[in-house]
Every structure is written in C-alpha cells, then in structure tokens.
Amino acid sequence: MAELTLEEARKIYSESDSLKSLILTKFTKSELEENPVVTQSEFDKKLLELIGKCTKTVFFTEEGFPSTLPTNRIELRNIDGEWMLDIQFTGENKHFWASYNRIWLILAYEFSLQDDEIQRLMKNQMKIKFELTDVTPLWKGVAASSIY
C-alpha cells in the first residue's frame, strides 16, 4: 500500500470532516493546518496566468525611449496599457523587472512569500519563457520607462 504524502493528507484533512480523525493518526494537527510551502508548479501556473494578461509589447531604446523598431528591451503591458514586465535581454543594463502591484504583490499575498522566495521561484520561468539565466528579478513600483 502506498504511503500518504503530507500534501495529500492536507488536502483530505481540509476537504473531509469525516476523515479528519483518521488523518490525525498519521499526522499532527499543526502539520496539517500549517500553510504549505508553494510548489514550483503552483507558482509557475500563477505567474504564467499573470503574464498571460500581457496583451501589448512596447519596444524601448537603451535610454528608455519608445522605439518603433524591435529592440532588446521590451515592456509587456496589460489590455489597459499598464506595464507589467520590463525586460532587457542583453547589454549593460540587462534586467527583468516586474510591476509591484500587478505581479509581485499578487504572488506575495497568494503564496505568503518574501521577496527572496519570489525571486528564487520566478527564475524558473525567466529561464524557460525568456531564456534569462543570469539576471535576478526585481520589482518596480512605477513603469521603468518613466524613470529615464
């Protein structure tokens, strides 16, 4: 017979009152009611959901001015034109900035994460989706293009 994992036990414990006493024979109440650590797949799913709200791409020059030609720096914006991500893929100012209100704060609250945990988990999708491996994601409170 397969062993029940803590994650499976938490799910059963939270969904079935009739099985709580049985689950408590194997796990403690504090283990079962403790906020579980977010998995990489759960985090990725939410991050990709937020990135999926980006419907507009705006190109910028190294100096932060809008460009009509594709460049190595982009801002991804939502349907309302509000910036969500600012990414510079190459160059001296290579970066991956996420909007504090539209990305970072949502991830922090939904998963009860600190900044360093968000950074660690976000690097996975930065590598897969944007091919960035040597940049630490940061949050910005205003559109990065507006600070130049």
Same domain for 26 and 79? no
The boundaries of the domain holding residue 30 are: 1-36
Whether residue 58 sits in one domain with residue 72: yes
Mark whether 120 and 79 lie in a shared domain: yes
Helix (H, G, I), strand (E, B), or coil: what is residue 89?
Answer: coil
Number of domains in the chain: 2
Write phi, then psi, for 74 (nearest 5 degrees). Answer: -135, 155
- Cβ neighbour number for residue 109 with a 10 Å cutoff: 9
Question: Do 94 and 109 lie in a common domain?
Answer: yes
Q: What's the predicted TM-score (pTM) here?
A: 0.72
Give mean pLDDT, residues 52-62. 94
Asked if 46 and 65 sit in the same domain, the reply is yes
32 and 43 assigned to the same domain? no
Mean pLDDT of the chain: 88
The pLDDT score that the predictor gives to residue 36 is 61
pLDDT in tens, 98-147: 999 999 999 999 988 889 899 999 998 999 999 998 999 999 986 555 54
Whether the per-residue pLDDT at 148 is higher than 50: the answer is no
Are 61 and 73 in a shared domain?
Answer: yes
Write the pLDDT tens digit of every residue in 86-96: 999 998 889 99
Instruction: Name the more confident of 35 and 31.
Output: 31
Whether residue 46 sits in one domain with residue 20: no
